[in-house]
Amino acid sequence: MTGAYRTVAERATARFEVRGSEFLGHVAPVDTVDAAESFVADIREEYGDATHNVPAYRVPAGEPSERAPGSEPMLREYSSDDGEPTGSAGKPALNVLQQREVRNVAAVVTRYYGGTNLGVGGLARAYSRAVKEGIDGAGVIEERPHRTLVVETEYDDSGTVRGVIESTGVEFDADYGERVRFDLRVPVAEVDPLRERLNDATSGRVEIDR
């Protein structure tokens, strides 16, 4: 499977306590740095009363459209201790993503301090555990790089276009306005063949943008 990679199947949160401190390990699939940062911001807002919200993520650098088809993306790896002792939180969280060999994943570990210091070793174990259990809860799947395509057509061709799209099994949303717009999420390896099929089926009348 060309360019296949491991990621999490869905959002999940794991929860446990260590010597009075409550830890919540949140993970989510994300495809861009912006999506990862947005997930981190959402968790920090939702758990704004927590003592710490420690982020870590591994996502492709740059937008999918900026990469050559079939090329492996450079990964942006990021973590922060968010006020915990240096090296006790963010790095252990990121290490789990690296060791599990998952990418296109963002994680945030929320901690509510329970009154007992855990020490650097105890913190590292707890933050690692939170990400591990979050990943276990979300499940790991093998995925392929995808690209977004926008397909627009007149109503006369819309049935034909929809039929071609549905026959490929790709994810899509349809918007019926003045013209018909389809927003597709297509595996990178299938983009060019799908373009050709759509153009052939409509004698080139379809408009296809990234």
pLDDT confidence of residue 143: 85
Q: Does one domain contain both 164 and 90? A: no
Confidence band (pLDDT; 50, 70, 90) for 125? very high
On whether both 49 and 111 belong to a single domain, the answer is yes
pLDDT at 66 exceeding the cut of 80: no
Q: Are residues 160 and 194 in the same domain?
A: yes
- What is the number of domains present in the chain? 2
Question: Pick from 143, 162, 187: which residue ends a domain?
Answer: 143
Is 198 found in the same domain as 129?
no
Question: Do 116 and 179 sit in the same domain of this protein?
Answer: no
pLDDT averaged over every residue in the chain: 92
Q: Are residues 18 and 84 in the same domain?
A: yes
pLDDT at 176 over 60: yes
**CA separation for the pair 32, 74 (Å, rounded):** 11
Query: Which candidate, 8, 106, 116, places its Cα nearest to that of 57?
Result: 106
pLDDT above 90 coverage of the chain, percent: 80
Say yes or no: 50 and 152 in one domain: no
Across residues 84-96, what is the average pLDDT?
Answer: 97
Query: What integer pLDDT is reported at residue 1 of this predicted model?
Result: 38
Neighbours of 107 (CB within 10 A): 32
- Collapse the DSSP code of 89 into the 3-class scheme (helix H, G, I; strand E, B; otherwise coil) and give the result: coil
**Cβ–Cβ under 8 Å, residues 8 and 30:** no
For residues 97 and 183, membership in a common domain is answered with no
Give the count of alpha carbons within 13 A of 71, CB side only: 13
Give the CATH number, domain containing residue 63. 3.30.230.30
Q: What is the DSSP letter of 102?
A: B
Instruction: Note whether 104 and 154 are same-domain residues.
Output: no
| Arithmetic mean of pLDDT, 117-146 | 94
Residue ending a domain, among 114, 143, 172, is 143
Residue 123, pLDDT > 80, answer yes
Q: For 82-98, what is the mean pLDDT?
A: 97
pTM: 0.73
CATH number of the domain enclosing 193 = 3.30.70.240
User: Domain range holding 181?
Assistant: 146-209
Residue 122 has pLDDT above 70, yes or no: yes
Same domain (yes/no): 150, 181: yes
pLDDT at 70: 52
Averaged over 140-151, what is the pLDDT? 86
